[in-house]
Amino acid sequence: MIHNILKTISPSSSRGETSPSEQNASPSSATPLRDGSKARQTMERNTTGKPGSPGITGGNNGIYPQGRSNAAYPPQGGVMSASCPSASFSIDDIVSEAYSGYPDSSRRPVIGITANVCGEDYAHRQAYFRQVTEAGGLPVMLCPMEDARQCASMLDIVDGVILTGGSDHNPLWMGEEPVRGLGGINPARDRFELLLARLAYNRNIPMLGICRGIQTMAIAFGGHVVQDITSRVKHSQDAPKGEPTHSIIIEPRGGGGEDMYGVLGNGVCARRLFPHYVNSFHHQAVDDAGPLFRVAARSADGIVEAMECVTGHSALGVQWHPEQMGREGLPLFQWLVSEARIFSKSKSLHRRIMTVDSHCDTPMFFAKGVDFLSRDSRILYDLPKMDEGHIDAVQMVCYLPQPKLGQRFSECVDFAVDGPASYADLIFDKIEDICRQAPSRLSIARTPADVYRDKRSGRHSIILGIENGLALEHDIRQIQHFRQRGVTYITLCHNGDNDICDSARGCQTHGGLSSFGRDVIREMNRLGIMVDLSHAAETSFYQALELSSTPIVCSHSSCRALCDHPRNLTDDQMRALAAAGGVMQITLYHGFLAKDGEEATIDTFIRHLYHAIDIMGIDHVGIGTDFDGDGGVRGIASASELINITRHLLRYNMPEGDIEKLWGKNWLRVMNLCQAAAN
């Protein structure tokens, strides 16, 4: 399980190892930071480089208590010291040292740490650097940028983000007037960090907010921060920075997972609330975590001390300063670095493999003025979201609703069209238009070879499909027409029987395939178009399987054994499909993943994936989201979040070769087979 990752890397963080007298033996040499204090804080800085200066690695640095059982903490060699005792003043020696482990197979995940702005300087506390280094990360400083687009490209190089402490937020970001207790604000940081938080979330980059950072997260994601708290507990301590001065209670979320309890709670106290001791330097605090987060810890006076993401993204915020708490603050940084490492591995894997989603219905929104080339909140698939989710190719279908008895097709769609075939042509025209607008970034692929060619050229692919053979208008010649347009599969029917076959949600009009349906399958085989049996009745499914000379597919279906819905495949269907060389693409619609009243999560989806692999074998399973037809599973709710599937599979130690098969290799194998058999 996810939280076990942390359990295994986290040292005991329980109090009691250190006596109060030991804590007191660690006076800080600097004025404690009070975020947003009325007198503008100056950063603790060490520019002298003198031996024994505070914050320098080696010996006691003035922050970590002396006399701990582990004398090696903080690590040697983590942060460069100008007074390094081993310095020989030979440049060749240090260059040789840099190459001594070459090639370095243990690349550290890059953790971006937001900088403070102090007059003309960008700076931050060395404690952040030290903790990240000790946790196994590679710290880099993220300086505020004016240019929002530059900010986005900056995130391409980081695997994790720390939003650091500092001054107050301008209340205007929350639409509020300032109260008397408001402290100093830092406009450059506000703008940059609020943007950074949103962009990092969209890109699934693991995030840790500290003090001001948790407040940044709350404001960025629709929560709220109190400008000046008045409370019986002192939240702005005068004690040394590493000294905990009050307690918090961390609430278990239940069900395990990557939550605050999993990070800081230890297994011994598994189901019991227990106090955790923290330091405190703030006068603003989150009072509403917003829709994407939940409160994970409070102090005795009810102040929010921690929050965690509820959508499955790796994002935690704490009000205290773990960077100042030495070993006891380390588990949060170990959590971040561990998440960043998995994220980095996922990105790297997606660069090397082909990722194909076999079904989305986005084109039906193209009539409504959506913009596929920019990030459009009205659709789940657009080009920026494909970049963010690291998805190479998507099958975009023209979905045709099945008219009810007595209803005309033109009444069911948003365009004025003569009939189903001209509607499909119009949809494909629109997709071609979009691709023409961005030829260097997007292309229509007609074959697996096209998809690989696009990836090599740095382009995304759109592959065309038709959902509902109604588009053929009972004319077999239309199949050739649509193949010429680039269509690679046709879903024989939708919800309701048509002239080709019976639907899973129909009334058994034909008892399976109609005789026209049999001709359709033969013609699709002849032209190399895949036969898609998602939405088909079981009778249609088995008859098509029997008849088709090439493997069939189910482009977006889940497992009946886990969710009893007529649209899902039974284990017997899955076995028959695999035996015929076909592929089943697990879909992301919550109604096909979980029963009514139960929430489908990314874990539910993964369970379906593993069940299908158990029944069919790894060579016959894939992923078909059905986005913009359905969707809405938290954590994988749009194309931008699809890399989270890979993150989860890597956590479950699925071999990369298997992930590659699920993410498109199986699907493209069947497409290749069908196209190769065409004559």
Q: Which is nearer to Zn ion, 359 or 460 (CB)?
A: 359
240 or 629: CB nearest Zn ion: 629
Nearer to Zn ion among residue 110 and residue 426 (C-beta)? 426
Number of residues forming the site for Zn ion (CB under 5 A): 4
Which range of residues in 272-280, 364-372, 464-472, 600-608 is near Zn ion by CB under 5 A?
A: 464-472
Q: Among residues 134 and 467, whose Cβ is nearest to Zn ion?
A: 467
Asked if residue 629 binds Zn ion (CB under 5 A), the reply is: yes
Q: Which of the ranges 301-309, 392-400, 581-589, 666-674 carries the binding residues for Zn ion, by CB under 5 A?
A: 392-400
Q: How far is the CB of 146 from Zn ion (least distance, A)?
A: 42
Instruction: Looking at residues 366 to 385 of the shown chain, list those that interact with Zn ion (rule: CB under 5 A).
Output: none
What string marks each residue from 596 to 615 as x (binds Zn ion by CB under 5 A) or -? --------------------
In the bound state with Zn ion, the residue whose beta carbon lies nearer, of 215 and 395, is 395
Q: What angle do CA 597, 563, 405 make, to 5 degrees?
A: 85
CA dist 74 and 130 (Å) reads 8
- Piece in contact with Zn ion (CB under 5 A), picked from 314-322, 462-470, 516-524, 669-677: 462-470
CA distance 331 to 341: 15
Residue whose C-alpha is closest to residue 224's, from 181, 165, 284: 284
Closest distance of CB 556 from Zn ion, Å:
6
Phi/psi at 288 (5° precision):
-145, 115
Considering the complex, what minimum distance in angstroms separates the CB of residue 360 from Zn ion?
A: 7
User: In this structure, what DSSP letter does residue 409 have?
Assistant: G
- What does the DSSP assignment read for 204-224? T--EEEETHHHHHHHHHTT-E
Kindly identify the residues of this chain, within the stretch 467-486, that bind Zn ion according to CB under 5 A.
467
Of residues 39-98, which lie at the interface with Zn ion (CB under 5 A)? none
In the complex with Zn ion, the residue whose CB is nearer, 195 or 367, is: 367
Distances (CA, A) of 108 to 175, 330, 335: 40, 17, 14
Q: How far is residue 669's CA from residue 591's CA, in Å, rounded to a whole number? A: 29
Q: Is 664 left (phi over 0), alpha (psi -120 to 50) or beta?
A: left
Nearer to Zn ion by Cβ, of 297 and 537: the residue is: 537
Q: How far is the CB of 491 from Zn ion (least distance, A)?
A: 7
In the complex, the smallest distance separating the C-beta of residue 276 from Zn ion, rounded to whole angstroms, is: 47
- Residue 152 to residue 205: CA distance in whole angstroms: 12
Distance of closest approach, residue 628 Cβ to Zn ion, in angstroms: 8
Which CB atom, from 629 or from 635, has the smaller least distance to Zn ion? 629
Site map 504..533 versus Zn ion, x via CB under 5 A:
------------------------------
Give least dist CB 534 to Zn ion, A.
6
Choose one: 42-50, 83-91, 539-547, 628-636; the region binding Zn ion (CB under 5 A): 628-636
Contacts of 37 by beta carbon, 8 Å cutoff, 6+ apart:
183, 184, 236, 283
Output 35 or 628, the one with its CB closest to Zn ion. 628
Q: Please report how close the Cβ of residue 503 comes to Zn ion at its closest, in angstroms.
A: 11
Cβ at position 630, least distance to Zn ion in Å: 8
Cα(604)–Cα(620) distance, integer angstroms? 19
Report the SS3 class of residue 66. coil
**Cα 24 to Cα 18, 282, 326, 601, distances in angstroms:** 10, 21, 14, 46
Toward Zn ion, which CB reaches closer, 281 or 592? 592
Report the nearest approach of Zn ion to the CB of residue 625 (Å): 10
Residues 6+ apart with CB under 8 A from 520: 469, 472, 476, 479, 490, 492, 500
Dist CA 390 CA 354 (whole Å): 10
Q: Residues 196, 244: contact at Cβ < 8 Å?
A: no
Q: Which of 361, 382, 392, 641 contacts Zn ion by CB under 5 A?
A: 361
Cα separation, 553 vs 561, whole angstroms: 19
Cα–Cα distance for residue pair 604/601, rounded to 1 Å: 5
Q: Where does this chain touch Zn ion (CB under 5 A) — which range of 512-520, 546-554, 621-629, 653-661?
A: 621-629
Nearest distance, CB of residue 619 and Zn ion, angstroms? 24
Quote the least distance from Cβ 362 to Zn ion, whole Å: 10
- Burial, 416: exposed, middle or buried (Cβ in 10 Å; 0-12, 13-18, 19+)? exposed
Give the residue from 617, 615, 608, 612 showing the smallest Cα distance to 636. Answer: 608
- Residue closest to Zn ion, measured at CB: 629
Q: Which is nearer to Zn ion, 321 or 359 (CB)?
A: 359
Q: Give the whole-angstrom CA distance, residue 154 versus residue 148.
A: 10
Give the residue with the Cβ less far from Zn ion, 396 or 442: 396
Pick between residue 132 and residue 413 the one whose CB is nearest to Zn ion.
413
> By CB under 5 A, which span of 151-159, 460-468, 522-530, 662-670 interacts with Zn ion?
460-468
C-alpha 52/C-alpha 42 separation (Å) is 21
CB of 461 to Zn ion, least distance (A): 18
For 157-204, give the DSSP string.
G-SEEEE---SBPPGGGGT-PPPTT---B-HHHHHHHHHHHHHHHHTT
Per CB under 5 A, residues contacting Zn ion are: 361, 399, 467, 629
